[in-house]
Structure 1
Amino acid sequence: MTPPPPRMRGRGRISAPLHTARRLGEIRRAQLITTYGVGAMIAVENESFLVRGIDSWDITEAPFVLEPRLAAQLGVKGFRLPPAPDPSRATDGVRAFRFPTMYSCPNCRALQPFRLFNSPAGKAECSSCQEDLVPSRFVMACAHGHLEDFPYWKWVHRGTQRTTTGSCGGELRFRADGSTASLRAVLISCSCGADEVSMEGSFRRQALKDLGIGCSGRRPWLKNAPAEDCQELPRTLQRGSSSVWFPVMHSALSIPPWSEGLTKLVAPLYEKLRERSSEFVREYLEVEKILVHHPEYSPDQVLDLFEQLRAVENAADTSRPDQAAEGWRDRLYRDEYSSLRVPHPERHDAIDQEFVCEPPEESVHSLTASHGIEQVMLVKRLREVRALQAFTRVEEPSPADTPVRRAPITTGKPTWLPAIEVSGEGVFLRIDGERLRTWEAQPGPVARARRIRANHEKLLRERAGASGNPVPPSPATPRYLLLHALAHVLINEWSLDGGYPSASIRERLYADDDMAGILIYTATSDSAGSLGGIVAQGEPSRLDRTLRAALRRAAWCSNDPLCMESEASGADSLNLAACHACVLLPETSCENNNILLDRATLVGTPDGLVPGFF
């Protein structure tokens, strides 16, 4: 038999080719933050690859993204767009490598590591059958983010005396007989004579533990990363399941002074000159003639902005970003809330102005009297930066997650994070504080919020476990439930009335003792969201009609009376009167994963025991 040709190291990339790396394909930059980020698996034709950590990315041509408030929250110096190099040049991009390593041939049914198939270069093909190979449908992961191939050999040989993989000398076979759509039709066998077994039962929580299989602590997305000691229970997952990868994302709106035109000019300079003296920066501006085409700015203004950026950067606790993030997030939302309440009109340099917020021309007095809406602001232009900090597996991210439950995207402590910047528009609504305080003190809303908060705090304690970290308080208050439900019914109504898909409209909730507002906005990487449709919905006369229609729709759900009378609903019983027929939204629209919702806060209960705010 002819020996196989020498192999390159198993590495790939998502963007442009190197002489030593194979180009796999292309994905959008936004997908590297939201869908196919570090540690996620990508299907490319009949192959599957795992995205490498950011320390293996070539960021030479990756643009710098400046958002100092978010950088301070996450304890990094800044952000970069995922690299998108020119395919015609021999530059690198985002690295990926083959995973899972187990493949099967649909003809000869061999199930073995990919390298043993001796495929031609650049193909996933069985050298014996010339059939396209199929990557393993199953992987093994734990809630600490570790990932590895499913242990097929141990699954077949369970109940035997053999304990070492391959000790039987046989070869594994994979067969799907198609008799049913269940795992009972997926059969694994070994040529050593072991009984053929199905994959049925492999997804049970204790299935792998019962076989004596523990988590090996492997982090294959981090190159040369040592295995960790992990006592977490491993689980079987489908390779394409959403449970394999949940992004831990953070976002911030650009507000003055960081949204002004000068910041755009300074962003690439600050990356180069952040460590330089003021004299050097001033000389650089003159030699490079940076301000020749921007006579509206002076060197002193540039230096002042440099100092502001350094001050924010130094204020961040970059040594302990996980502990500092929560406090900075509260501050970040408070700053945004303050900016949204104050007019920021469009100016002469509006082409570079990324935050335009103006009151409507009509009076809002009628809205205040009829609905308790004290203020409406039309956000005609906004910019949002979304950054990927980490990811989780098996379980969705939670505020109570310990650092060990959030899988890192780089081997060491990151100095930058991948991010995208998107532009859009929106409407900001602020609730009448006095009327709100009167309503939220009544026994009915308090009792319903207490029920949700008890379930949420129980979940947070379970997620925190025995780590010793303080359990964050649940935000489930009558005020939060009201604002959250109001945002959802308005998004549903505007998606029908304004012509936007609901998945392209997002919410941002400002709910605290001193805050009572919502921002409903569009911020997408495509054209949806920049056409003025949402701003038009914020005019008081139209908003009044929209609110009345939304409240009528929320007063009755097609699942009532079961929906309204539910004692607990939704994921982990963290909703009350909320289901897919009334207020739930696509996951891209809700900032809290469709939990902490109760439409009874809007319209009350039919028995009148719980009054609705409206």
Structure 2
Amino acid sequence: MGPVPSRTRRRGLPATPARTARKLGEIRRAQLITTYGVGAMIAVENESFLVRGIDSWDISEAPVISEPRLARQLGVSGFRMPPAPDPDSARDGVRAVRFPEMYSCPHCHQLQPFRRFNSPAGRAECSNCQESLVPSRFVIACAHGHLEDFPYWKWVHRGNRTGSGGCGGQLTFQADGSTASLRAVLIGCSCGVDKVSMEGSFRRQALRDLGIRCGGRRPWLKDSPAGGCQEPPRTLQRGSSSVWFPVMYSALSIPPWSQGIARLVAPYYDIFKEEDSTSIKTYVRMQKLLLHHPNYTEDDVAAEVERRRAAEAATVEPADGTEATKRAGDYRRELYEGEYRSLSKPHPEVAEEEQEFVCEPPTTPIDALRSSQGLAQVMLVKRLREVRALQSFRRVEEPSPADSLLREAAISLAKPSWLPAFEVSGEGVFVRLDPERLRIWEEQPEQVARAGRIRKNHEKLLSARASDSDKLVPPSPATPRFLLLHALAHILINEWSLDGGYPAASLRERLYSDEDMAGVLIYTATSDSAGSLGGVVAQGEPDRLQASLRSALHRASWCSNDPLCMESEASGADSLNMAACHACLLLPETSCENNNILLDRAALVGTPDGQVSGFFTR
């Protein structure tokens, strides 16, 4: 990962050839999607950089990832894995730009843009003190994703009628380390104004009171115009998690897309999609694509290409006013319904085929689980593939279904035709609840009332996060069924992390909750074969599943924070949980697809006074 080489600024001299971009560091490909994606800041030794947009990447050698269902939902032609670094040169395909621009010297305390320090090439060093420079600890960002350096000059000269940058003095940055508070961070100027601490700079109105508005800057996008933003900026720590929230979407590779002729055509679809049937057959014949696939013919390839064309043509672009709502609602419904149907049917392993999805029922019957625990079906997913794509990102506030597209920062200047993604393989267990028993339980007034409290708080939050009053706010998924499935997934992950050989952070949940869906998939997915060692699948065998479920429910019946936890009317962030805390239900962030909200332990085991009965209460 390296910045674009700077151009010469001297006039009258011949242009010198651009030097090779400096190699800054190494990160894993998956981190360019989940942790250090486009627009995120990366600390490299004593420097800080911002990952540039995908339109600046060199993807000539980037592998193509095929997942037609997800690509169709996100409106792109396909996905590419972030380019791998070249060990023989500094070129790795991913570009970065220096940010923040303000640096300080810990010895002479000068605070100024990095270029004014005249550092040696490839080093961040004060030319006067030979001390390593320190990038600015503070930046400002707005909820629309714009990012700028903290306005130190305006902060220290507040109340002084000097004009914007007109005093001509040298800013200083000093942290005496006497306390950990912002009161110990002092900003000064050689013009003679009193030093000012950074205390109070994180207040919501602090920058607005100084007349500081968002400049609309997007430094991660080359040649991006600034201006035109009315969102108030906020002060943030450079290393804060609020600086970058990824907006990611994922899909499981399921039949028929993951096997047979569809899997064979996938790598060549970009070549075939604009060609007629005759050209497709000619290409197949010349490239001998069916040499090792005697079961298929050229007509099968042409028919598969036509089927994919028809599927893409059937995708209707959403209207501007409801695009965010459609993506949050229809995205999950359309993708999850297909996965739910595939998980509910056996897909046994075929020896002569390379399969990405193998799903089989246990070898022993589940009669005991059906009668005592209310489980209608258990499926062992012995092999699965998941594609996770980065669509955009947010700052200041974490993503929400009610967010406008304006609150999602773009990862390229123009609408991208592809998105960065990575694929993982793993295993899992799919559990489906008895629909009749579930229907009787979820219609109880007590369950409706508890879920109604969470739904009311959630819809209030969604309405507040909507950009305008005319925008359609998506309904909250907080129903008794959803709370039950979500809590069940969490207790199984906690229990299996003790018995399955995987830490809780490596297990993930996927909830299928709708009028005609009531299932949970607990799975592990990694970028190598370590995700398919069989430890999770073994937990799905009926005898072991019954024992682990019984143990998990026993743990959930009492929390170390009870009775406060169970009797809580609202808990968690924005009061979006009922009986749920870190001692009983909450999981690592990598495991929960709902950010640890919409949870209620009482949906599983009921309340101790018996007024609310849990689904698993005998």
Is TM-score (shorter-chain normalized) higher than 0.5?
yes
Alpha carbons 1:104, 1:135 under 8 Å: kept: yes
Contact 1:452-1:596 within 8 A present in 2 as well: yes
Going from structure 1 to structure 2, the CA distance change for 1:110 and 1:150 (only over 3 Å counts) comes to same
Residue type of the alignment partner of 1:344: H
2:186 aligned residue? 187
Shift of 1:273: 2.7
Deviates further, 59-68 or 244-253? 59-68
Q: 1:505 maps to which residue?
A: 507
Q: Name 2:334's counterpart in structure 1.
A: 331
1:49 Cα offset (Å):
0.5
Q: Which residue is equivalent to 2:547?
A: 545
Check 1:322–1:464 CA distance in 2 against 1; reply closer, same or farther (3 A cut): closer
Contact kept? 1:500, 1:528, Cα under 8 Å: no
* Farther-moved stretch of structure 1 (265-274 vs 578-587): 265-274
What is the number of residues matched between the two proteins? Answer: 599
Match of 2:344 among 328, 341, 344: 341
Given that 2:425 and 2:529 are in contact with CA atoms closer than 8 Å, whether structure 1 keeps it comes out as no
Give the 3 Å change call, closer, same or farther, for CA 9–114 of structure 1 in structure 2: farther
> 1:466, CA displacement in angstroms?
1.6
Q: Which residue of 2 aligns with 1:491?
A: 493
Contact 1:76/1:318, CA 8 A, preserved across alignment: no
CA shift, 1:445, in A, is 0.8
Aligned residue number for residue 15 of structure 2: none
After superposition, give the CA deviation of every residue in 1:411-456 in whole Å (9 maximum; x if it has no partner).
1111111111100000000000000000001011111000000000
- 1:90 Cα deviation from its structure 2 partner: 7.6
In the TM superposition, what is the alpha-carbon distance from 1:280 to its structure 2 partner? 1.1
Q: Which residue of 1 aligns with 2:27?
A: 27
Structure 2: unaligned runs, 5 residues or longer: 9-17
The alignment partner of 2:565 has SS state of: coil
Task: Render the CA deviation track for 1:202-231: whole Å, top value 9, x for unaligned.
Answer: 111111111111111111111111124111
Question: Displacement, 1:174?
Answer: 0.8
Alignment correspondent of 1:4: none
The percent identity for this pair of structures is 72
- Which one of 440, 443, 446 corresponds to residue 441 of structure 1? 443
CA–CA separation in structure 2 for the residues paired with 1:545 and 1:485: 18
Question: Partner of 1:532 in structure 2?
Answer: 534
Q: Is residue 86–residue 92 contact of structure 2 (8 Å, CA) maintained in 1?
A: no
Distance (whole Å) between structure 2 residues aligned to residue 62 and residue 163 of structure 1? 50
Contact kept? 1:402, 1:467, Cα under 8 Å: no
**TM-fit CA distance, 1:507:** 0.4
Verify the 8 A CA contact 2:32 2:38 in the aligned structure 1: yes
Q: 8 Å contact 2:272–2:305 — kept in the other structure? A: no
Task: Report the CA distance shift for 1:599/1:137 in structure 2 as closer, same or farther (over 3 A).
Answer: same
591, 594, 611: which one pairs with 1:592? 594
Task: Using the TM superposition, give the Cα deviation of residue 318 of structure 1 relative to its aligned residue in structure 2, in angstroms.
Answer: 4.9
CA RMSD of aligned residues (A): 1.5
Q: Which letter maps to 1:433?
A: P
Task: Look up the match of 1:196.
Answer: 195
Matches within 5 A, 1:105-116: 105-116=105-116
What residue identity is the alignment partner of 1:602? L
Aligned to 1:479: 481
1:229 corresponds in structure 2 to 228
Distance 1:90 1:182 in 2: 40
Distance 1:317 1:44, change over 3 A: farther
> Could you say which residue in structure 1 is the equivalent of 2:274?
275
Q: Secondary structure at the match of 2:284?
A: helix
Shifted more, 322-331 versus 537-546: the winner is 322-331
Instruction: State the partner residue of 2:141.
Output: 141
Partner of 2:164: 164
Alpha-carbon distance, 1:26 to partner: 1.5
- 1:125-164 Cα offsets, whole Å, 9 max, x none, are 1111111111001000011111000001111111111230
- Taking the TM superposition and a 5 Å limit, the aligned residue runs for 1:290-329 are 290-318=289-317, 322=324, 324-325=326-327, 326-329=329-332
Q: How does 1:513-592 map to 2 (within 5 A)?
A: 513-592=515-594
CA drift of 1:260 comes to 0.6
Whole-angstrom distance in 2 between the partners of 1:116 and 1:316: 53
- Going from structure 1 to structure 2, the CA distance change for 1:90 and 1:548 (only over 3 Å counts) comes to closer
Q: Is the 8 A contact 1:118 1:126 kept in 2?
A: yes
Unaligned runs of 5+ in 1: 1-6, 11-17
Q: Which runs of 4+ in 1 moved over 6 A?
A: none
Deviation at 1:63, TM superposition (A): 1.1
